[in-house]
Structure 1
């Protein structure tokens, strides 16, 4: 039986729950970190999912941790805001990526506090228009973790997308994600398949269903960002040019994240999480 611990960014959705189930094969203790900001304060806390995992893996210990990322998010959004607006303009509306970065900053701090060396999440190749899902962002995260002697892994990153993903979700939100296979074609095991086989999901794909909304904590608001991405920047400049701008914008934000972590390292009075 494994005897080490890992931290896992956990919303309670299909992908992060699958990642947690996979982690149970390698780690005896899994710290499930869920992040809450003001915009998601009415979203369900995934306690039911944690209980299901504990019931399915009785030899493992799943520790649920809820952290507010409001303080860190405000810093990433508004520190040097005027200068950032003058330099990057509308890219400052890429708030889903700022939320993602705030989670990982707090995860690094949590792991250093609890002497955890491995971090995982349920990131896939769906929703690839969000900054936090883009390859350049993931590469920067791996470097940031490595600077603190931590290993960041994405165990379901390359898993296939379910063919029956809801049509409207793909049309309005995720048309840049991996296209689903046609019904009946071989796709390999999806995250939903894996949970269904374990008895942790009533169907092979519950994404977008009422059950999904009731058991998953929202990650961040994204309507304004989608307008920025699809209606403005892509039409004016093309998506590739938009992504290049995001790379430049987030280079400055990753530097801010390093500043925050350094401040915390040198001052016990400096708090990253609001009480």
Structure 2
């Protein structure tokens, strides 16, 4: 009597096929979402252009996108737009870096040490509620009409965002993970490198993404009132001279700058947390 034949095992090929199907669906979904993200603003711009051409809106206050594009090309060709963008970046990037480093360090110390958290928590909570643009007059009194007050305004804004998110990220580390690491002999720098920093990194990256947008807002607001260059000055000066198309160019430039800066921070975050990317 012959033994019954065993079915051929197809679990591994089936799993590979399923994985490929999931990857294909994920790519299609990503392309669809990207297309939607481009289609919505394009439809809005087209509607704006058609409404201006039909006389449904006041083109003196809302010039059509085609006129704004022409002015944008003219400002870019003259170098004015590039100079103002460079001035804004020259204040945004140093302020962001300074505030991010200081805020992450302060938040990490407050998250690890309950004593530091109890001592500095109420003070930082009170200072965080103060509008950061309101600190500009004090900075101008201390440092005069230089670049330092503008950079420090961005740094102060970024500092508090990073401090809050970093401290929360450290406190959210699973205590059992810390106990396991200590039981295997991890302490000091090893505990800091392999447990505390990776555990707090998602909170730090969330703070960086939030601070990126707020930094752009603050630097533009500072340039409204205390600068003679930058995208904020471009917008404010255009409003003063009643040049709406020029003003809209500045607004578009700020929007693009904010989107690119936030996107760059998000990409750096994905690179720094490969375990979340794989998930």
How would you bin the TM-score normalised by the shorter chain? under 0.3
Greater share of strand: 1
Q: Which has the higher contact order (CA 8 A, sep 6+)?
A: 1
TM-score by length of 1: 0.27
Greater share of helix: 2
Higher Rg of the two aligned structures: 2
